[in-house]
Structure 1
Amino acid sequence: MNIVVLDAATLAGVDLSPLHEFGTVTTYEYTSPSEVDSRIQQANIIVSNKVQLNGAHFAIAPELKLICVAATGTNNIDLVAAKDAGIAVTNVAGYSTPSVVQHTFTLLGNLMSNIHRYAADTKLGAWQNSRMFCRLDHSINDIANKRFVIVGYGNLGQATAKVAEAFGAKVIIAERPNSKATRSGRMAFEDAMKIADIVSIHCPLTPQTENLFNVETLSLLPKHAILINTARGGIVNEQALADALANNQIAAAGVDVLSVEPADADNPLIKYQGDNLMLTPHTAWASQESITRLILGIAENITSYLDGGQHNRVV
């Protein structure tokens, strides 16, 4: 088997030896659109995280049998064209849950305890020049007893809820917006927003959730609310969030994802300079352990395919 890894840099240098069991592995740290054709022509299996692959690519790769998406989302693959070409496509789900949950609470804990502000002040000498043993320049608040609203209650939302409960928070599961009925154990979306102390987003990006957090939605939140987004950037209207932070319409936000990635220098959240925003470069998923689980999951997918199985088959 000829296996081609098109964007190995996204795997952070984690050991790829599980893939070598299946044949020759050729790795490229990055692959630009103009480089795809020459790199996949002899491939039997492609591993790609974010490199776009479509029908034109499949036409020049006659030996291609399997595309292993090194992620959960498969929007970088033209699935219809893959099916028409008889190419199987797999993904890996659930591998990053511990990492994303940890990142969610890292962002939240920093914001609620203002750790980033205190650390910056200490570097500038504030503690060294203090007249008392500590500094209390910025507010510090507990997660305990806060109304912790979760938007999206799949594996990630459920795992986040467990940790929130361990902190002593009062977990509220938001119903889908514009839903005609509220399921047992959930609260209507707008009602949940109106009472939220913390909102953590874990839903997928769909036509129904795109720009879900817009001017109108953000205006529902209490002024002390904190918004955390480790899901997808397009779920939050970035200009609306930047304005809400600048105007103290909400207290703070922790964001790991943007609508366009890599980040555009003109993105409102990139340009925003307030210290009530913590912005990280889509790293919530990327613990070393998560990426190791991802690679092992890809190896399992290849094994299943070669054995005639359907494990994690998308197409």
Structure 2
Amino acid sequence: MLKIVFLDRDTLSPETVLRAPAFPHELIVHDRTAPDEVAERIADADIVISNKAPLRRESLGRASRLKMIAVAATGTDIVDLAAACEQGITVSNIRNYAKHTVPEHTFALMLALRRSILPYRQSVLDGRWQQAAQFCFFDHPIADLGGSTLGIIGNGTLGKAVGRIAEAFGMTVLVAGRRGSNEVKPGQTPFDEVMRRADVITLHCPLNAETRGIIGTREFALMERKPILINTGRGGLVDEEALEQALDDGPIAAAGFDVTDGEPPAADSPMMRIAARPNVILTPHVAWASREAIQALADQLIENIELFVAGTPRNVVG
């Protein structure tokens, strides 16, 4: 009988159905697990499920029975993949479950900022419409997506889906090549050119050593069209201090973020300092979290575990 330990069940909504794997097992479920609790909780596990609880070298080294880490997400930066490989631990992740929910959230942020939806709502609540004494008023800027240029960083499943929606809106789509490279693949545009030409920039790449801080002071200085910056990827992709400065100094017009570098963000963090600005929308890492998407994730998670136990592992990382 295999022992399965789920370290952070609360990262999936309470209404999500997590069916039992179709093989003999013992399932231990923790609502959440602090980093200093991980090692003890996985010490005698055969399979570990984690969404955000970190699985680092020291903890893995104490888990002598561990055979599989089933990541309940697409991003695998919570796992020390090198250590897992050295111990012969298979790591799997979830793929393509968020192909609707994340692009839709991306455009919700984009439309709300481009059309000043929240500032206009607040103005109505504050009585400004009555003060205007006519059928409308023009206190906040409004711009169309149609005819504008979208820069996409990260051209995987989500980046491609965002691009298709953008084209339906009548946007010109630029897919960024690798930062710092003069060579681009067919269909891509040099990274710095995307920074200069885009009216909206959206991030859909994984967080790793190469992409951490991919948008910082240098990149903000290139943004000639004062774009909106959208991040539904990972918080660490953007230098948050530089983002705050860019909003102060004007290289960008607005920011729509669903992620922060460290979650939840500290009360005095740059993201919380800017969160109340009328040209900023910060949502609590819920772009992925439609009912349909979370259930698809949970179903795929159990299937990944069953396939591993059956000897045909799927979605193996590293």
**What is the TM-score with the length of structure 2 in the denominator?**
0.91
TM-superposed deviation, 1:249: 2.4
Paired residue type of 2:12: L
Residues 40 and 209 from structure 1, CA distance in 2 versus in 1: closer, same or farther, beyond 3 angstroms?
A: closer
Partner residue, 1:31: 33
Matches within 5 A, 1:236-315: 236-272=238-274, 273-314=276-317
Q: Return structure 1 stretches of 4+ with deviation > 6 angstroms.
A: none
8 Å CA contact retained: 1:74, 1:91? yes
Distance in 2, matches of 1:34 and 1:186, equals: 43
Q: Which moved more, 1:73-82 or 1:147-156?
A: 73-82
Mark the runs of 5 or more structure 2 residues left unpaired by the alignment. Answer: none
C-alpha distance after superposition, 1:158-216 (max 9, x if no partner): 11000000111111122222212233222222222212111111122233322222222
Aligned length: 315
Q: Which residue of 2 aligns with 1:215?
A: 217
Offset of residue 61 of structure 1: 4.0
Give secondary structure in 1 for the equivalent of 2:158: helix
CA distance change for structure 1 residues 130 and 50 in 2, over 3 Å: closer, same or farther? same
Identify which range, 303-312 or 204-213, moves more after superposition. 204-213
CA RMSD of aligned residues (A): 2.0
Shifted more, 73-82 versus 152-161: the winner is 73-82
Supply the distance in 1 between the matched residues of 2:265 and 2:279 (Cα, whole angstroms): 19
Q: Secondary structure at the match of 2:100?
A: helix
User: What's 2:98 paired with?
Assistant: 96
In the alignment, structure 1 segments of 5+ residues that lack a partner are none
* TM-score, normalising length: structure 1: 0.92
In structure 1, the residue matched to 2:165 is: 163
Answer yes or no: is the 8 Å Cα contact 1:14–1:291 preserved in 2.
no
Greater mean deviation of Cα atoms: 186-195 or 79-88: 79-88
Find the aligned partners of 2:82 and 2:226 in 1 and give their Cα distance: 46
Q: Pick which of 20-29 and 131-140 moved more.
A: 20-29
- In the TM superposition, 1:1-315 aligns within 5 A as 1-22=2-23, 23-272=25-274, 273-314=276-317
Give the residue type in structure 2 aligned to 1:5.
F
| Amino acid of the structure 1 residue aligned with 2:5 | V
